[in-house]
Chains A and B, each alone.
Chain A
Amino acid sequence: MKNTTIEAQTAIVGGGISGALSAIILAREGVDTLLIRKGYGATAMSSGCISSAGFSDWLALRGIPSPSAQIEQAFRTFGRLMEEMSLPFTASSPNESAYLTISGTKKRAELLPFSNGGGSLETLVNGSTLIVGIEGLKGFNVSFLSKALRHYLGEGTSISEQIISLPFLKRRANFSQPELALLLDNPKMAGDFIATVSAQIKDDFTHVLFPPILGMDKHLLVMTDLQLTIRALCVEAIAKIPSSTGIRLQKALNRALSQSGVRILHGCIDAYQQQGDKLTSVQFQDKAGQKTVKADSFILTSGSFIGGGLSYESQLREEVFGLPVQVKGENSDSAASNSLLNEGFSARQPLLSAGIEVDESFHPVDRSGIPLWSNLRAAGSVIASPVDSERWSGLGFGIGSGYLAALSTLSAMS
């Protein structure tokens, strides 16, 4: 086993949406950036729909001037990046538009993957919609979704259902959505799929609603071909776990990372070194031996529980640096464990909003509000949420805080 030391200007811990976005921004500004990750987390499981609600609440509570301008800049940066990566997003107004999820619920967001973005309920109401299901595909119940659409759009709206059998599927049951999306990356299967769909669509529809299965890496291509053949607006219902749209988003971020020249290392940090008020290096083991990453600045974007940034056994813990964890402004060790959770499922659950606290430059702070290290910043859902978890919208918070943490790192360098 050998010890390797790697140097970088900035090292980022975590490769979800906040870590990837801040790494890409820094790298594109010419900063030598390195990203350490241990696998996929919440970003790859998400619906890919991005809402600013949680981040805007967070900024407002901190008295930050012109929060909406900051959010707009962050979202615009993210939008341009995804456009470049062949995963365009559609802007929407949450006050005006809502979209159907595969659970039959409605969702509102500012940015939606373009495959979702064309299908707002407000546009469906004046058209005629066909819902297409696939025999053997799980988690997409055509008759239930048709019931939901009828409920939202009113009885008079034209809604049709069609379940198609795909000739290339040998099994007749138990297909998951990401599995089918991956199959449609194969041009032959995509061709068969499009031919089968178009052969079975007899009438004219303005919209055809599909499960979120329209390709993975070749998503844009599959969507384009489908659209050209069917001559109706093809949209996907918003995904739930396991989510093709979340995986597409994570993969687009991965492409952007490598195209921006960010070096990526895989490992789980188990030690760190500090000097004075600075963090100097982090360490982890991989197959080749021990790796030490030295950097001038660090950004912690390790996520909450799913991502592995936080854990809760008998106490709440921040996993990488052991930073103090807060629950709704309270210190977690003073909050009695029975006040962390409530008996009502949909009541507020403080445990799930827990995280670390940061100052206005995104430096993690100790109990008295003093930054722990002058060159460590944090972004994404490792940060404590002051609002209910369902208002949090991790993707939107990841983009906003990742963007601002990167800017803060940049300005400290100049």
Chain B
Amino acid sequence: MLDRLLNTQTFMTAQGAMDGIAARHAALTDNIANINTPGYQRKEVPFEQQLAAARSQGFDAGGRTAAFRPTTITDHSGTARQDGNNVDIEMEMVALADNSLRYEVMAQYVSGFFSGLKGVIQAR
């Protein structure tokens, strides 16, 4: 019974989004940590399309998000910097702020989902 409530598409998507946002956070912190490393190429996690694809396939047969694993890619775009490093600190900091807000939104959503569920269970 609980499985049917917890393994809905929406809930699984929210779960996948949180995984993706956390992976993106790791990539962003990596970029910030390597701001002074010569030749470093920035990383990014464009998980949205991947998540949409996993969602359209109904995730996997067991109804788990295991099929969805956010992949980290390397951005080989050019740079104006002398040391070949293509990290732009302003862009990274803005992306970091944006990313934490997105995580908060998702956390709040999942929290709301659970409190709704709790309300139903307690028949209030």
- Answer whether A and B are interacting partners: no
